[in-house]
Homo-oligomer: A and B are copies of this chain.
């Protein structure tokens, strides 16, 4: 078998895959086939029969639209799930071969979900950092049980996105030497030649970020050159590496080198001429020459050997370091230690009021002592978000065992990095910034949700209650924006106990990200709040005295204490106070439970210092934001927009009076669809 035949087989399988779907991206797979062949048959360590093997190298296809390539490689090298039939079901409902790679759809083989440009390479920085951290934490002399490379394929698009510059700057700063990026430089974007919009010197930029760089001139053929560049990259141990591989998009097509071949099937005629040109039968689709099949399937044997060698190593490690090895296995399995929950602190109403960010500081530090897998940091806001783990030190070049990451002012890069940490396993990653700036990171946050990554987003300064910094920093839309995102917990605790409850939920959900929205300003500790209550999403904090409630006030976060006070003011009415820290968790409760909290016929006034949009879901009326906020001392700002106990009480009475005349409809019962 010649290497070129194997490479051409990749190209044609990818072209056939896209053609069968009449949809997809053939150009990049055909351009990257040679580097894919080189990496996947000569360098990458993996076991097709055990895709989750702990010792594997990580591979990320950052230009996820080129996924026909990845599926073809998984098929050829013997990953059981990626049958020829799955290639033929490319981009069909229910297949394992969707339009962009989704890790949650398959049992290994895809490390992270990619496609939104810039994410994969940024995830890879997290993957490499995870490796560095776990290696520094668990490896012992002669026992490098954690020891793998992280390889990335990416294209122009990924390198234009700001998120990749952020993450790459972090990678360079940290000197992550085992991160190796192969940049498919084909001079073509969707609109045409890169000349139209992308004329910067990419490698010089990466040098400025602290990376090692090199170039492969003929990436269409030069397997030896690609391998040499990878070897060189491996030899540079204190810097991440980027290898610019010059390729021809859609190599082989009559339109090779043009944008035409990027995002649509080539057409049967074009594919036929390529097959003829390369000595394949133009009438046969999805053909793998036997000698090519055999060559790729050697990876099954190679992979088995890799794993066996590692198993041997791990056996010795387990014998010498039984506790460490048990701990590593526990962590990689994503199992929480017993009784971790018992460290969660609780507060009494007599305890001093504090910002929920301050309760959070106490809690995360308690948790960090029993959860060594809890690692993370802030986007340069430690003095404000209060998430520095006092039990540990900085994760820096030379101290990779540190658990505190310094992300710099890079919210989007941070979130994508956290996804990478989560994807590696063995870690519970968190990141913190102001809630408003999750808007910078939404591209990565939604991928946490799609990918089932249990990342903790600890977002402080969560409303106009942050005060003087003003509307550019005061979130309005953020809570609703996150609630509209599937697959994520949005938690807005109102006092100390609820902040513990929010952490309990977030830590427990190892396959669902959580956002903790925390206040800057002080919140009183309330009678009736609880860790268990938070887990139900909404619950009764203060029951109406003297019989069935006449009115319910729902509050979340820093407005809960205000709602509580308002109920006290309304001493002549029977007022129930409900805390609603999480819509998602409440939605998951039984209708019976929901109706026990939001009783049919009892009017509900909700109070939240965020957007009013959507609150009709759980209330008849709402005191919330209908505009941006304003800069000023926080009490004045809150007062300006109606967030005082007095105003809530006044408005609650109006709601009560209104619903004396009009029946209050059920907020739970709906037409069954």
Which A residues fall within an 8 A CB radius of B?
21, 23-24, 64, 91-95, 98-100, 102, 113-118, 156-158, 160-166, 169-170, 172-173, 189-191, 196-202, 204-205, 207-210, 263, 378, 380-384, 394, 396, 406-413, 436-437, 439-440, 442-443, 446-447, 449-450, 467-473, 476-477, 479-487, 583, 603, 610-611, 613-614, 616-617, 620-621, 623, 625-628, 630-633, 636-637, 640, 651, 654-655, 657-659, 662-663, 665-666, 669-673
Contact = CB atoms under 8 A, between A and B. Distances in A.
Contact of A484 (B486, B614, B640): B614
State the 5 A-B residue pairs at the shortest beta-carbon distance, nearest first: A162-B162, A98-B631, A614-B614, A93-B632, A197-B408
A383 B190 contact: yes
Nearest to A410: B160
Copies of this polypeptide in the complex: 2
Contact of A665 (B24, B470, B665): B665
Nearest to A95: B631
B440 A443 contact: yes
A613 B91 contact: no
Contacts of A157: 380, 409
B380 A190 contact: yes
A170 B666 CA distance: 54
Contact of A202 (B114, B208, B468): B208
B99 A486 contact: no
Contacts of A172: 199-200
Contacts of A623: 673
Contacts of A473: 99-100, 115-116
A208 B201 contact: yes
Contacts of A437: 116, 443
Contact of A472 (B100, B480, B482, B662): B100
A15 B378 CA distance: 28
B471 A625 contact: no
Contacts of A655: 671, 673
B439 A446 contact: yes
Given A191-B380, A442-B439, A665-B665, A197 B470 contact: no
A627 B487 contact: yes
A447 B476 contact: no
Contacts of A671: 603, 620-621, 654-655, 657-659
A189 to B, nearest CB: 5
